[in-house]
Amino acid sequence: MRDHPFWQAILVFIAAWILVRWGIPYVPPLVGISSAPVPTSVELQYMLTVLVGILIWVSDNEVRWKRFKEPIRNVMVQPERKWMRVAFLVAIPLLVAFVTYDTVRPKVTAPVGLRSVHPANPTSITVDGESIILEGLENPFRAEGRGDEAYALGLDIYYQNCMACHGDYLDGQGHYAHGYNPLPLPLRGGGTIAQLTESYVFWRIAKGGAGLPREGQPWNSAMPAWEDFLTVEEMWAVTYFLYEQAGISPRTWEEH
């Protein structure tokens, strides 16, 4: 079998497929993914090229071409290979049917598209039946110089409610954090709340993942809507606490 062109062709084809499928590292133009399988369309193109190459090679020489066709011909005409013909007759339509079914069947996958981590906030929100206009709004604790009070209250609230996800160190590494996608955001450092006004952070705390507008909608953010569990005052206090604890100051309205 080893020097029969038919089996050699099959062997080369399988080897090429393994190489294309698993041997070639493909780096997609997406941040955060270092390598991924070659896309199916590219895989198909490569395999077609390989097939053409193999056919050129087997048909290049008259003797080799004849030997190559032999096993195919045998299956098609020999009376004692009838079982094989029947098997192919059943297997091929079944395979086509399965592939067709697999491509058209509805699948549950996350919608593709880039998620905006900080989508624009709504102009006003309603919390506890009260309408709050976010534009120009400041943390009442900060505005009234009641920072110490806010810190003490916010600290309790944070460690009772937020630590499991956002972490002891506010670094987004809470015990439950790794179970979520998107991950709970770190509240420390320059990347998240340092860029935001306190009213924005208040809105995110009050309305959670469910309150995100379309462009920020990952459809599966685990961030709870804290308006269901905390009072308006408590949410302002925990907002104050986040900035104090992280050692950063909120973006102010004057900077706009």
∠ CA 185-131-158, rounded to 5°: 30
**Of residues 9-38, which lie at the interface with ligand HEC (CB under 6 A)?**
none
- Site membership for ligand HEC, residue 125 (CB under 6 A): no
Calpha distance 239→138 (Å, rounded): 11
Closest among 104, 119, 148 to 240, alpha carbons compared: 148
Please give the backbone phi and psi of residue 21, each rounded to the nearest 5 degrees, phi first: -70, -45
Query: Considering beta carbons, is residue 153 or 201 the nearer one to ligand HEC?
Result: 201
CA distance 196 to 203: 11
d(CA 141, CA 218): 32
Q: What is the largest CA-CA distance in the chain?
A: 97
Tokens of 130: 């009260």
Binds ligand HEC (CB under 6 A): choice among 121, 192, 197, 199 = 192
By CB under 6 A, residue 153 contacts ligand HEC: no
Residue with the two structure tokens 């990952």: 218
Residues 164-183, interacting with ligand HEC (CB under 6 A): 164-166, 180, 182
Q: Which of 205, 206, 237, 246 binds ligand HEC (CB under 6 A)?
A: 205
Binding mask 207-226 for ligand HEC (x = CB under 6 A): --x--x--------xxxx-x
Q: Is 238 in the site for ligand HEC (CB under 6 A)?
A: yes
- Range in contact with ligand HEC (rule: CB under 6 A) among 16-24, 48-56, 156-164, 246-254: 156-164
Task: Catalog residues that contact ligand HEC under the rule CB under 6 A.
Answer: 118, 157, 161-162, 164-166, 180, 182, 184-185, 192-193, 201, 204-205, 209, 212, 221-224, 226, 238
